[in-house]
Amino acid sequence: MQPEEMNGQEAAPVWSTGRLVIGIVSMVLFVLIGFQSCAAGLSHAMSNSEATSGTNGVMTAFFILVAGIVAVCTRKSRSQTVTMIPAAFYWLGAVLTLGTGATYGDLPVWGGISFLFGMVYVVAGIKTGKKKS
């Protein structure tokens, strides 16, 4: 038995505070990425460019927002699957940023951050699975 379980307390979920912080940061990033993407999309529309990086940026921002909301809501989960759900949303957002650096230079940076946030949730999910054993 774990020392926490012997005292009648349950052990804290894996990286619960870190998962909460990443979720809140993601919600703030949504505003920043969304604003930048709308500006890039407007710029592309005004210059009659066929670039889609503005639209990809808005979609990435929404995936990051959804991942952040799910992350905050599930931060106390002890389920391996539930812990990894935000990673799927983060990685979907990251995939949308591939090859978009030519017309919107910041978008690959946001995609990299999204990928790293997803990795945190995968590692937390793996550690959650090992903790149950």
Q: What φ, ψ does residue 114 adopt, rounded to 5°?
A: -60, -40
Q: What is the pLDDT along the chain (133 residues), one digit of tens a residue?
A: 454 444 556 667 888 899 999 999 999 999 999 999 999 888 888 888 888 888 899 999 999 999 999 999 998 888 888 989 999 999 999 999 988 777 788 899 999 999 999 999 999 989 887 766 5
Give the ranges where 7-101 is alpha helix by DSSP (H). 16-46, 53-73, 80-95
Reported residue count of the chain is 133
How far is the C-alpha of 127 from the C-alpha of 125, rounded, in Å?
5
Closest CA to 117 of 61, 59, 64, 79: 64
What's the DSSP call for residue 2?
Answer: -
**Per-domain residue ranges for the chain?**
17-132
Amino acid 96 reads L
